[in-house]
Amino acid sequence: MTHFKLTLAYDGTNFAGYQIQPHQRTVQGVLQKALGKMAKVESIHIDGSGRTDSGVHALGQVVSFDYPGEIPARAMRLAMNSLMPLDIEILDAEIVPADFHARYSAKGKRYLYRVARGRFTDPFKRLYTGHYPYGLDVDRIRTALKDVVGTHDFTSFAASGGVIEDKVRTIYEATVQDDQANNELVFEFYGNGFLYNMVRIIVATLLEIGNGRRDVHDFLRLYEVKDRQQARGTAPASGLYLKEVYY
Amino acid sequence: MTHFKLTLAYDGTNFAGYQIQPHQRTVQGVLQKALGKMAKVESIHIDGSGRTDSGVHALGQVVSFDYPGEIPARAMRLAMNSLMPLDIEILDAEIVPADFHARYSAKGKRYLYRVARGRFTDPFKRLYTGHYPYGLDVDRIRTALKDVVGTHDFTSFAASGGVIEDKVRTIYEATVQDDQANNELVFEFYGNGFLYNMVRIIVATLLEIGNGRRDVHDFLRLYEVKDRQQARGTAPASGLYLKEVYY
């Protein structure tokens, strides 16, 4: 038995998300089946660092699993890449201690969000960005991002779900790059954890601030009211990338 | 009646090519139906500068047509973009003299071909590049490109078809850019006309020269032999872009 950590990139467009579901093409499903093929079993269970929704991409998703048998890390990477469809690439394979768990061992994550600007949608960006056709004052967004950094109750920024849980998270870094060559804004968020849809709701709120539809310090009010209805928008899945998981 | 020229970009991934076909999603079909909707008729026939195959992209395809009625060029662009799916963007609309024809008036075309390098396929490039995992000597490719420029009989570089026609074409420019930041080679070909699959066959031949599998001046031999079987490969549709049509 060998315990593995794999780091992978995928284009989320043609997956019904990361998590395995019956009769759906999922990242977890494709990986488990490929590992099963290598080990000549039906399937090998893997643990991911977390789910990504349908259409959400990954530049550095991490999964861990027990592989029945001995195989060097380099051979694991090559064998898995040979079994992967074109929309998944195995970037790295490591043999790790048995107590490593892709989700429970994670100390933090970094997400990237690409927003395409301009009046019309670019056909080549539609699957890989969100699109915002209205005016944006990037300085207002930079000011608001300072309110995102820190430890806050993100209840207003979590998609509603039945499970009661602690909604306090710490964001270590929240930045925006004004990529004028590509006519895009590129956001990055690095934190100790993220609630469901949290990055997409934060980005939608930042765009409304940039457009002047919200007060530049509206985040401070939204932390207080703890009401999902107040932060209405959710930026599209297509712009979101799980960039890195930290251990 | 107003005679229009439209310039458009499209992501060819989800089209069965440019040319209209029954029961298939085609660029021509989508455009003709949208124009028909604007004019409250079934469909309006358009002429394209030429076909693109399934999976081939356009950064500047041109079409022309007669529109029944008066409408300013700017309004035509806005109205058409509002009716376009996300994988087509109308870049420009112009009212042109009645004798303008997207195909017959064309004086030349420019194609771009992107080749992704590296051992593994990048999930985010699979639909937008060809992939070449083997070694390439870019200087050899640059030397061979000098043999591509000029007036040649491109019979060896045309996909076989039943129609007898003149296979002599003139290439004014043939370049390659070594984009190391993106780990890509980007080819451009500007000529007075291109045969079916000609760019994709030329690129496949150039890659074999770059890898050392062919003599660096093999193009000169291939012009002489006039035999499609000698230039065997065809680079994938996904890397090809119709960049500009010249009038």
CATH number for the domain spanning B8: value is 3.30.70.580
Amino acid in position B142: R
Token code pair at residue B171: 């290439």
- DSSP code, position B68: S
The verdict on residue A190 lying in a domain is yes
Nearest to B12 by CA among B26, B23, B22: B26
Which uninterrupted H or E stretch holds A130? strand A130-132
* From B47, B53, B122, B178, the catalytic residue: B53
CA distance A186 to A235: 13
Query: For residues B24 and B16, is the Cβ–Cβ distance under 8 A?
Result: yes
CA distance A24 to A95: 30
One domain for residues B77 and B161: no
> What integer pLDDT is reported at residue A121 of this predicted model?
87
> What integer pLDDT is reported at residue A161 of this predicted model?
63
Q: Across the interface, which of A11, A81, A90 has its CB nearest the CB of B124?
A: A11
CA distance A175 to A172: 10
Token code pair at residue B138: 């870019």
Beta-carbon separation of B11 and A126 below 8 A: yes
Strands B108-116 and A57-67: unpaired
Beta-carbon separation of A89 and B11 below 8 A: no
The verdict on residue B166 lying in a domain is yes
A41-56: pLDDT as tens digits: 999 999 999 999 999 9
One domain for residues B80 and B166: no
Helix residue ranges per DSSP H, chain B: 27-39, 73-83, 138-148, 198-210, 218-225
Distance from CA of A164 to the nearest CA of B (A): 37
**Cα A14–A15–A18 angle (5° rounding)?**
155
One domain for residues B88 and B115: no
CATH of the domain at A227: 3.30.70.660
Q: Across the interface, which of B9, B86, B121 has its CB nearest the CB of A89?
A: B121
CB neighbours of residue B25 within 10 Å: 14
The verdict on residue B103 lying in a domain is no
Last residue of a domain, one of A25, A60, A95: A95
Q: Which residues of B are annotated as a binding site?
A: 111
> What integer pLDDT is reported at residue B192 of this predicted model?
96
| Torsion B203-B209-B214-B216 (CA) sign | positive
* From A11, A53, A92, A153, the catalytic residue: A53
Query: Is A162 a residue whose pLDDT tops 80?
Result: no
The verdict on residue B122 lying in a domain is yes
* Cα distances (Å, whole numbers) of residue A145 to A109, A149, A198, B46: 17, 7, 14, 49
Query: For residues A83 and A37, is the Cβ–Cβ distance under 8 A?
Result: yes
Annotated binding-site residue? A132: no
Q: Is B181 on the interface with A (CB under 8 A)?
A: no
Last residue of a domain, one of B45, B69, B95: B95
The verdict on residue B102 lying in a domain is no
The verdict on residue B100 lying in a domain is no
Please name every residue paired with B178 in a beta bridge, in sequence order, or none if there are none. Answer: B185
- CA-only gyration radius of chain B, Å: 19
- CA-only gyration radius of chain A, Å: 19
One domain for residues B90 and B141: no
Last residue of a domain, one of B95, B117, B136: B95
Q: State the residue range of the domain holding A13.
A: 2-95
Nearest to A234 by CA among A130, A112, A133: A130
What residues of B are in contact with residue A122 (Cβ under 8 Å)? 9, 89
- DSSP code, position A159: -
One domain for residues B238 and B136: yes
Query: Is A243 a residue whose pLDDT tops 90?
Result: yes
* A151: three-class secondary structure by DSSP: strand
Mean pLDDT on A16-33: 97
B62-111: pLDDT as tens digits: 999 999 989 999 999 999 999 999 999 999 999 999 999 999 999 999 99
Whether A53 is a known active-site residue: answer yes
Residue of A nearest to B91 (CA): A120
Number of domains in chain A: 2
Nearest to B46 by CA among B62, B25, B22, B59: B62
The verdict on residue A194 lying in a domain is yes
Query: For residues A27 and A10, is the Cβ–Cβ distance under 8 A?
Result: yes
Beta-carbon separation of A86 and B126 below 8 A: yes
> What integer pLDDT is reported at residue B228 of this predicted model?
86
> What integer pLDDT is reported at residue B162 of this predicted model?
54
**Sorting pLDDT into bands at 50, 70 and 90, what band is B172?**
very high
Mean pLDDT on A122-147: 97
One domain for residues B172 and B55: no
> What integer pLDDT is reported at residue B231 of this predicted model?
85
CA distance B169 to B166: 8
One domain for residues A26 and A83: yes
- Tabulate helix, strand, coil % of chain A (nearest 5): 30, 30, 45
The verdict on residue A152 lying in a domain is yes
- Tabulate helix, strand, coil % of chain B (nearest 5): 30, 30, 45
One domain for residues B238 and B154: yes
B114-168: pLDDT as tens digits: 999 998 889 999 999 999 999 999 999 999 999 999 999 999 999 876 566 789 9
Test mutation, A14, A82, A86, chain B, max B CBs within 10 A: A86
